[in-house]
Structure 1
Amino acid sequence: MRTRRFVLPLSALFLPLSAFAANAPSSAPVFTLGSVDVHARRGSSATVAEHTLDAARIQQLDRDTVGEAVAVLPGASLSRNSRNEDMLYLRGFDPRQVPVFLDGVPLYVPYDGYVDFGRFTTFDLAQIQVASGGASLLYGPNILGGAINLVSRRPERPFEGNLRLGIADGGERKAALNLGGRRGDWYYQLGWSQLKADTFPLPDGFRDYKSVPTDTGDDRRNADRDDRRLSFKLGYTPRDGDEYALGYARQDGEKGNPVYTGSARGGIRYWRWPWWDKDSLYFVGNTRLGRHATLRTRVYRDTYGNGLEAYTDGSYATGLDNGSFPSIYDDRTVGGSVTLAGTALERHELQLAIHYKDDRHSDRNRNAPTKDYRDVTTSVAVEDRFALTAASHLRFGLGHDRREARRVYYWPTGSADATNAVLEYVQQLAPDRQWYASAARRTRFPTIKDRYSARMGAALPNPDLAPEHATHLELGLRGRWWEGAQVQAAVFHSLIDDLIQNEVVASTACGGSTCNRAQNIGRARHLGVELGLQQQLAGDWELQGSYAWLRRTNLENRNVALLDSPRQRLFLVLGWAALPQLRLQATLEAEQGRRVSYANAAAPVRELPGFGTVGVKASWMPRDGLGLDLGVRNVGDKWYELADGYPMPGRTWFVNVNRRF
């Protein structure tokens, strides 16, 4: 007889904020094939390293982009860099080290490993799954610090959908429509959205420190955006346990790039991005092989292109035309994976995954040669969940990755290998309480840009860069530890070896002088604590919050700071169901200890002032399925920055209309 596991589903640990409000949005049905762990999505034990945000909570918090949404979780923080890109950091690991997926399909850009999380909207998502250091090896290669998986919707009724409309200060307007239906063995899901803004309001007290200021009014110049997204899925379920779906997602973006307004002296970039486009075509299938085995397959093709134009001044009338601008990137990826899951062995749940990924990058400029690159990455991993007792289990995984440079402009090709492992113990103390401990060894292969970019003539490429390595240790607990509360707590330690950092070198290739070169010379430690609480209070009040403390140390050179993630971060939400049709909400977002780069040779690093911003919102549901929101972000009109010289929006009023049918 198979031992019955006494396991607490993670979805039961943290209910969405909306669960306590009669007029709250409902969660969207989840496309379970889009999850990576086959067994965990069929009612088995889920990886404790994973946190889940559902559509109801994302909408309740008005998080329209993936970056804004994930930043509410413990250990996650958002940064906005000089390229007007939203960068997510997870326990101090940057987007190159925490790749993003759509329904298990990798979306990160082949050239540099980054994605702009401000371009990815949340309107058509059912869930966002965020895994940290103990993430499943089934995700594939390059998950040095974890993984972020965007899971799409799957309809349950013959016809269903929702419509969202909204306006806000700065000329912001949004519209999103999702339609889906199920007929017999077939289902379809369609999503369309647009998020557009002309500018954003500058906060009170803002000062432009440049000698020739550009932002002299109430609004930020060259801060416009236009992001359009279309998604479609067609699915077929011929029998219980079998499901096949063809999915497509396309997004077209355009954005400005506000100029630097800080006190450091240096060159000012007058940049615009006339296009930032990405599309993904993929097939996901799940086939039941007898009583004890399941085969999941993924095949995908992903393309990404953007254009960057530079101008001589703030009028944006005269463009630069040289060896660097206009800059056009053209990236393409084809790949697939096969995951075989079996439960034939007593008390074991085995999964074997094989991945193949073919990345191609083309860098084009009419004044310079076209540069073509091709990387092929393969990965094999096996994981086993072994039920030690009815109330405890052990998860063990081992994997091997390989990256080969098949085509390179000018420089020699090469290859690299990496071995990964994970070990996790989970002890169930009660139906709704558990503690766990995990250890993991992870790697990240250097990107094409890491190895071959000359950084516009300021650096020397290094095709021999080796992978980065990280060893993660974590101890934590989750569950209902007192009446009306759900609690999570974790302490973690990550040691990173062979960290890629720039070193000043002398070479004839540098014109007889010195220049920077990326080297595997870094060692770092990330030590932190994460806390999460959801507390039901008296009188239809509820409180939810997350807190994280993170200390990052450069062990190779303690005088060189590790940048762009805060030392402490707090996120709180207080909600009150004042009436059956009325819900009031207040949020507090605060952080301290963020160090960023500073364009000053005497002091290249600056610690930004800590800040706290408050938001308020009233949600009214006059009838079932119809909701109206009125709210204010940054009520105090606080001037704060996530990067030196790039102010975040001031006080912003918004109105939303939500219709569910």
Structure 2
Amino acid sequence: MNSFMTHSSAITKTWLGCAKNRGVWRLTALCAALSCSGMVYAEDTDNSAVFKLGEVVVRGDIGGSLLLGETTLNETTMERFNRNNIGSAATMIPGVTLASSGQRNEQTVSIRGFDSRRIAIFMDGIPQYVPYDGNVDLNRFTTFDLSTLTVAKGNASLLYGPNVMGGAINLVSRKPEREFEGDVRMGYASGQERLFSVNVGSRQEQWYFQFGASYLDANGFPLPKGFHDQKKSPTDLGSYRENGHYTDKKLSFKLGLTPNATDEYVFGYVRQEGKKGQPVYTGERKGNRFTGRFWQWPYWDKDSLYFMSSTDLGSDYTLRLRAYADSYKNGMDNFSDASYTTLQDTRSKYDDKTYGAAAELVIDRWANHEVHVAFNYKDDRHKDIQAGYATKNYRDITYSLAIEDYIRLSDTWRMRAGLSHDRRKTKDANIWDSGAVDKATNGVLELVHNVTPTTELFGSVAHKTHFATIKDRYSASFGEALPNPDLRPEKAWHYELGLRTEAWEGGELEFTLFRSNLRDAHNRVDVPGTTCGKYECRQYQNIDRARHQGIELSVEQQFSPEWRAGLAYTYLNSKNRSEPDVKLTGLPRNRLFAHVGWKPHAQWEFLATLEAENGRYDEGVVDKYEQLSGYGIWGLKTIWSPRSDLSIEAGVRNLGDKYYELSEGYPMPGRVWFANAIYRF
């Protein structure tokens, strides 16, 4: 506890004394002071259109209205702040940080220091990560057809299933509430970004349907003021980022049957089609690894077919079922130069499939207890297809059995206790032996005390694990790596202590201290040429230990009918305990998202946002590691609603045209102007 208090003091010093970004962080401190004095704003909380079967954790009276460690954004919030993909939406939540894999043009996030491979993405409770490497490009997942986005952190429910060591993000689709309803959205932004989406639904007495379609396309993005391509042979000489194009199309449909007041049966299908370019590195580092990657993905496609149900088995039991079949296909073209006309190699293709099922029994038989028993099954298959070579096949089957009990200890005390056991069996490993079995056990204990009707204290401890991916175990990385089929699961202990209150009118405050200890983490080590065959190579081994600890602060309040504001702040102190001199890259020490809204008239609303961070390390040009410059970017937006069913908006992102990077050599967008129109019916 003393170490946490020490870091609390460090936050104040960092806010007021950041050497590189003194002005931004003084402003951050001012925003925090204003928020704590009541100048904050509460988001809309209407969740009538939420598809409840898509939520992983559904609780009754004992479980409470929300699970601690979980934060939910609804569609109104995501729309208000123009969060078109789930990565940008999730970073509005304390503890979530945006990352960018510049070398693959992928957007990922970390939760309390745990990167995207150690957290899990779900859509209506169905795992979305690619079986091969456990990753997913969040740019390919748009928010236009979502009702909510929920982030669960280190103490996430065990009902999510295996491999949720660092947390989970669940995207929940819509469910119609009226006989006929929907919306249409159109927009345009700098970089010739075009968007169109439509959602239509109908609710009848014993059935309903929901349909959604969206299209998002851009030729690139404007480069910020001060940008200069540092390469010897520069490729970005104009005002827009070269090879930064993308196109994302999505189609979703579900049909629900509701034969009575308690039961529900749903069939659904989701189709995603994407393609993208890979902007070239523009920094000072040399070598083909950085300057010679002229890549494009002509397709990044995903299909999902699923069934979900909830059936009451008498007054004390509810059975929830989920079954799905997903396919992931993508291809990558490697060109010889920036003209993108001549292929250097044949197209690289991945073909992954996942078949899964889950069953959950909710038991309300015993007084003051709500017991959840869940079984998860997942069959992951990966094909590595290279022209001129035999197709490499890999297959893993993973099982998980979990039990969680929500307990009412008294009128003011609640507890959640859970235990799960996971097993993974390798069924096909190309040239390697199959049949290997990995095992892991997870647990969680959470305690909540209502100090007053509007204030609660909470604390939790959790032990979580993560199985090694197919890529980490078997990839040879074009001859640069030595596979290691014997990689053991990673393990982490999570601790948190916090306060949540609504002690003053119209406001909410949440303050959390957290710490996570990671061991047996997978990292690459150098292996001598005598082992690799000829040249020195690298191999993933269970060698790393790390510690992440910090503070999260969230304040929201509407303090008058016209004014509302809020902020989400994270302080993160991460340390490599195996090699203290080796930095943990991609993790900012301080991150802030703040917003102020003014609605002087029923038809007009004005919104201002600030996103700021500092303390992020990356691989260096001169030194082995370098700290990227901190930044603060402003956004402004005006919303005109001439009718209750129509909104027209215009605004700007990165108002100051600030130059900043999340990964060295890969600049983020400069000033972006946008306009949108939304019609609801």
TM-score interval w.r.t. the shorter chain?
Answer: over 0.9
Specify which of 126, 130, 145 is matched with residue 151 of structure 2. Answer: 130
Q: What is residue 169 of structure 2 aligned with on the other side?
A: 148
Change in 2 beyond 3 A, CA 1:337/1:48: same
2:99 aligns with 79
Cα distance in 2, alignment partners of residues 148 and 137 from structure 1: 14
Q: Which one of the candidate residues 301, 306, 315 is aligned to 1:282?
A: 306
Q: Pick the aligned partner of 2:357 from 294, 318, 336.
A: 336
1:432 to 454, 457, 464: 454
Structure 1 residue 635 corresponds to structure 2 residue 655: yes
* Distance across 1 between alignment mates of 2:41 and 2:74: 7
**Residues 1:352 and 2:376 aligned together:** no
Instruction: State the one-letter code of the partner of 1:575.
Output: G
Q: Which amino acid aligns with 1:645?
A: G
* Mapped pair 1:110 → 2:134: no
Distance (Å, rounded) in 2 between the aligned partners of 1:146 and 1:584: 34
Q: Give the aligned residue type for 1:217.
A: G
1:10 corresponds in structure 2 to: none
2:422 corresponding residue in structure 1: 401
2:51 and 2:162 mapped to 1: Cα distance? 23
Residue 229 of structure 2 aligns with an amino acid whose one-letter code is D
Query: In structure 1, which of residues 478, 498, 501 is the aligned counterpart of residue 500 of structure 2?
Result: 478
Letter in 2 for 1:218: S
**Partner of 1:239: helix, strand, or coil?**
coil
Cα distance in 2 for residues equivalent to 1:574 and 1:46: 26
1:401 corresponds to which letter in structure 2? Answer: D
Where 2:511 maps in the other structure, the secondary structure is: strand
Correspondence 1:114-513 to 2 at 5 A: 114-267=135-288, 268=291, 269-321=293-345, 325-413=346-434, 414-513=436-535
User: Counterpart in 1 of 2:591?
Assistant: 569
What letter is aligned with 1:446?
A: A
CA distance in 1, matches of 2:59, 2:319: 11
Indicate the SS of the match to 1:368. Answer: coil
Q: Partner letter of residue 59 of structure 1?
A: E
Give secondary structure in 2 for the equivalent of 1:456: helix
Separation (CA, whole Å) in 2 of partners of 1:99 and 1:538: 39
Instruction: Supply the distance in 1 between the matched residues of 2:60 and 2:88 (Cα, whole angstroms).
Output: 26
Contact 1:469 1:496 in 2 (8 A): yes
1:342 CA drift (Å): 0.6
Q: 1:369 to 1:508 in 2, by over 3 A?
A: farther
Amino acid at match of 2:234: P
Counterparts of 2:522 and 2:114, CA distance in 1: 13
TM-score (ref. length: structure 2): 0.92
In the TM superposition, residue 432 of structure 1 has moved relative to its aligned partner by 2.6
Asked whether 1:54 is paired with 2:78, we answer no
Which deviates further from its counterpart, 199-208 or 423-432? 423-432
Preserved contact between residue 39 and residue 341 of structure 1 (Cα < 8 Å): no
What do residues 547-581 of structure 1 show as CA deviations (whole Å, max 9, x unaligned)? 00001101011011111121110000000002111
Q: Is the 2:121–2:129 Cα contact (8 Å) retained in structure 1?
A: yes
Q: Distance in 1 between matches of 2:154 and 2:464?
A: 8
Task: Note if contact 1:16-1:54 (Cα within 8 Å) is conserved in structure 2.
Answer: no
Check 1:28–1:251 CA distance in 2 against 1; reply closer, same or farther (3 A cut). Answer: farther
Shift, 1:507, TM fit: 4.6
Q: Secondary structure at the match of 1:313?
A: coil
8 Å Cα contact 1:35/1:41 also seen in 2: no
- The Cα shift of 1:653 comes to 0.5
The residue identity in structure 2 corresponding to 1:272 is: Q
Does the CA contact (< 8 Å) of 2:507 and 2:559 recur in 1?
A: no
| Deviations 1:409-433 (CA, angstroms, capped at 9, x unpaired) | 1122322100000000011123332
CA distance in structure 1 between the aligned counterparts of 2:453 and 2:224, rounded to whole angstroms = 48
Query: For 1:534, which of 530, 544, 556 is the aligned residue?
Result: 556
Instruction: Output the CA distance in 2 between the equivalents of 1:145 and 1:19.
Output: 28
Letter in 1 for 2:405: D
Amino acid at match of 2:180: F
Partner of 2:13: none
Q: What secondary structure, in the 3-state scheme, does the structure 2 residue paired with 1:138 have?
A: helix
Contact 2:41 2:564 survives alignment (8 Å): no
Q: Distance in 1 between matches of 2:153 and 2:368?
A: 26
Could you tell me how far apart the structure 1 residues matched to 2:43 and 2:507 are?
15
Which AA in structure 1 matches 2:376?
A: H
Normalized per residue, the structure richer in helix is 2
Q: C-alpha distance in 2, partners of 1:606/1:410?
A: 40
| SS of corresponding position for 2:89 | helix
- Which shifted more, 610-619 or 506-515? 506-515
Q: Which residue of 2 aligns with 1:656?
A: 676
Aligned amino acid, residue 38 of structure 1: V
DSSP 3-state at the match of 1:517? strand
1:6 corresponding residue in structure 2: none
Given that residues 307 and 323 in structure 2 are in contact (C-alpha distance below 8 angstroms), is that contact kept between their aligned partners in structure 1?
yes
**Distance in 2 separating the partners of 1:545 and 1:291:** 43
State the partner residue of 1:8.
none
SS in 1 for 2:476: coil
CA distance in 2 between partners of 1:38 and 1:547 (Å): 28
Task: Look up the match of 1:610.
Answer: 630
Tell me if the contact between 2:62 and 2:406 (Cα under 8 Å) persists in the aligned partners: no
Helix, strand or coil for the counterpart of 1:642?
A: strand
**Is the Cα contact below 8 Å between 1:16 and 1:57 reproduced in 2?**
no
Q: What's the RMSD between the two structures over aligned residues? A: 1.5
Change (3 A) 1:124 1:17: farther
Whether the 8 Å contact between 1:17 and 1:57 is mirrored in structure 2 is: no
Under a length normalisation based on structure 1, what TM-score does the superposition of the two structures give?
0.94
